[in-house]
A and B are shown apart, each in its own frame.
Chain A
Amino acid sequence: MADGDRSDEVDAEDDDDDSEDERLFSLDPEADGDARITGVVKGKHIVTPGELVTSDATWMRGHGTYSVGNSTYSSVAGTITRVNKLLSVTPLRGRYVPEVGDHVVGRIIDVGTRSWHVDIGAKQAAVLMLGSVNLPGGVQRRKSESDELQMRVFLKEGDLLNAEVQAIFTDGAASLHTRSLSYGKLRNGYFLNIPSSLIIRSKIHTLELPGGVDLVLGVNGYLWLRKHTQQLGEQGVSITRLAEEAGWEIYSDENEYISPSIRETIARYANAIKALEFGEVGVNEPRVVAAYEASLEFKNVGEMVENDAKRRIARQVLAARS
């Protein structure tokens, strides 16, 4: 191929793990810098709307692309992703696109018949079926008619919960479930949201952070900062006894006592995460902790709302990684 040099360059970039981390939106790790792709897109990973992705007709066109004749063009600004023969462009910005297994934070927007509608920041509201939540009195319990009538007692409009995406309907809407004691209604804390494209997926999205604060890092960019409390599943209760342990308290609206110092720490974390957002730095556990540590130089949490402080924190987080 004529563009051999370029593909080598791309290979070198991909092999360097650090530089991949520095980029917010990395190419699919499977991509091997095939000259057939990288060559025709001028050796760039990022394309803009209307830019030629490939003029080769053998590629299948996925999301974020359109075609004129044999050529494929990008319809969004984003990075090229390749799965076998399927080319798609993942947008840099835009709404969250749910995937099965994602840990998300959502807000109830509507109580329907036998299901709730949940705002998760996606194109459509997600659906949480009555059968997909832990009902008080045990996991094994069958849902009854009285449960259908008192759905607002469990979750009502405005309530926040964390859940897992169980399935995606054909129209792209997500179906959620909370059938684990690590999911459910959120209490004792503060909500904030950042663009979902900044969230780095990892195995664990419920983080225990220094300072006695937990962070539920929803893949959809919805975040919940709360006082650290022993979750029901952590108290050494065996799986078989979970049934008896899950009582009405999992749907309580009452906060525990939260001390002023914990409230300040929560505010500090919120500002640290906003600083990462300001610097367009991807968010994961080490970075949140690094941002928190960098923020400690500001004695007063309020100083962190200034843009200079945010920039400084973001820069320090990036410097700490290399």
Chain B
Amino acid sequence: MPLSLSEESYLASSLSLRPPCRPDGRDQHQFRPLDASAGILPATNGSARIRLCDGGECIVGIKAEVVESRKEDVALVEVQCDIAGVQSNSPLHTFLCTTLETALRNTLPASRLSIIHRYTYKLFIDGIILDHVSHPLTLFSMTVYLALLDTRLPKLIPSADVASTTTSTSSSDQPIGLPQFESDWQESVPLCDKAWSPPLVQLAVLAGKNVFVDPTGEEAGVGDGAIVVSWHQGKVVGLRTVNTRDSSKQVFSASRDVTEALTRVVS
């Protein structure tokens, strides 16, 4: 839905004021309230649902599969998503999935998923975005974050570990040494603990010299551009600029502004 010219100029000038005035009066770094729940899908290792107050809703389920990790380049995380009302091969899908996949692969150590010697877990992260009014990246990333926190992996029976190390030396093609797991789900271990928590990817909109987190659809529509910030355990680990609208404006010529803005986001 296009905005009218006067609406657009009103919003753009409100956002680029110093201090800015967002249409809903929020602070630059203030999020909208959301409704979140975890562990909603019983057939998954971890799941979560987040609803935003503007009607955006996202459900994520995570399945862990045991794979053989003989090759070094095997991808241990796969992110897929489905967006209601958007074709399944759209650039938006690719953008969401690759952004999160990259963030996860860069921060998730392989040791965290390895089971024993040859075997490792592979995480399949599937999301469905039931509705979105604002850009779905923040919503999707937060839901994945919550689902990963909720993810539990079955507990390994240690005796199997010992058996595999002794036999695997003779021949690696034998199906012996398969990992054995505790059948009691109560015994399962969470994927995340104090040593590692999942990364978060946020979209922030730039307008003039201001940066806005959790932008609404109209804010993203009039903004000069956006930055995608990957955040992991208190640090910014990734940064990208994206266009939120097809404008010919040259936004990122003043890189100093972006850096300045970023330091404010981080702090």
Asked whether A255 lies within 8 Å of B17 as measured between CB atoms, the reply is: no
- Take A263-B14, A263-B17 as given contacts and tell me if A304 and B4 are in contact as well, using a CB distance cutoff of 8 Å: no
Question: Which residues of B lie under 8 Å from residue A300 when comparing CB positions?
Answer: 25, 27
Q: How many A-B residue pairs have CB under 8 A?
A: 82
A149-165 vs B, Cβ < 8 Å mask (1 yes, 0 no): 00000000111100000
A283-305 vs B, Cβ < 8 Å mask (1 yes, 0 no): 00000000000000000111011
Asked whether A264 lies within 8 Å of B21 as measured between CB atoms, the reply is: yes
Residue of A188, A274, A307 touching B10 (CB-CB under 8 A):
A188
A62 CB–B CB distance under 8 Å? no
Asked whether A258 lies within 8 Å of B25 as measured between CB atoms, the reply is: no
B193 CB–A CB distance under 8 Å? no
Asked whether B4 lies within 8 Å of A107 as measured between CB atoms, the reply is: yes
A271 CB–B CB distance under 8 Å? yes
Residue of B2, B11, B17, B26 touching A190 (CB-CB under 8 A):
B11
Asked whether B22 lies within 8 Å of A190 as measured between CB atoms, the reply is: no
B85 CB–A CB distance under 8 Å? no
Asked whether B1 lies within 8 Å of A305 as measured between CB atoms, the reply is: no
- Take A191-B7, A260-B17 as given contacts and tell me if A157 and B22 are in contact as well, using a CB distance cutoff of 8 Å: no
- Take A107-B4, A253-B5 as given contacts and tell me if A305 and B33 are in contact as well, using a CB distance cutoff of 8 Å: yes
A53 to B238, CA, bound (A): 61
Considering the complex, give the chain A residue whose CB is closest to the CB of B11: A190
- Take A302-B30, A305-B33, A307-B53 as given contacts and tell me if A264 and B25 are in contact as well, using a CB distance cutoff of 8 Å: yes
Considering the complex, give the chain B residue whose CB is closest to the CB of A159: B4
**Residue in B3, B17, B24 with the greatest tally of chain A CB atoms within 10 Å:** B24
Task: Report the minimum CB–CB distance from A308 to chain B (whole Å).
Answer: 9
B32 CB–A CB distance under 8 Å? yes
A55 to B252, CA, bound (A): 70
B255 CB–A CB distance under 8 Å? no
B111 CB–A CB distance under 8 Å? no
Considering the complex, give the chain B residue whose CB is closest to the CB of A257: B13
Asked whether B2 lies within 8 Å of A305 as measured between CB atoms, the reply is: no
Asked whether B4 lies within 8 Å of A158 as measured between CB atoms, the reply is: yes
B30-45 vs A, Cβ < 8 Å mask (1 yes, 0 no): 1011000000000000
A268 to B2, CA, bound (A): 24
B9 CB–A CB distance under 8 Å? yes
A254 CB–B CB distance under 8 Å? yes
A268 to B23, CA, bound (A): 9
A188 to B21, CA, bound (A): 15
A134 to B104, CA, bound (A): 58
Residue of B1, B7, B22, B32 touching A267 (CB-CB under 8 A):
B22
Asked whether B23 lies within 8 Å of A302 as measured between CB atoms, the reply is: no
A186 CB–B CB distance under 8 Å? yes
Task: Report the minimum CB–CB distance from B126 to chain A (whole Å).
Answer: 29
Asked whether B21 lies within 8 Å of A260 as measured between CB atoms, the reply is: yes
**Residue in A160, A274, A302, A304 with the greatest tally of chain B CB atoms within 10 Å:** A302
Considering the complex, give the chain B residue whose CB is closest to the CB of A307: B33
Residue of B4, B5, B26 touching A305 (CB-CB under 8 A):
B26
**Which 8 pairs of residues, A with B, have the shortest CB-CB distance?**
A301-B25, A158-B2, A267-B25, A253-B5, A302-B26, A263-B21, A187-B6, A159-B4
Offer 7 A-B interface pairs, CB within 8 angstroms, sorted by A: A157-B2, A158-B4, A186-B4, A255-B13, A263-B21, A267-B21, A267-B25
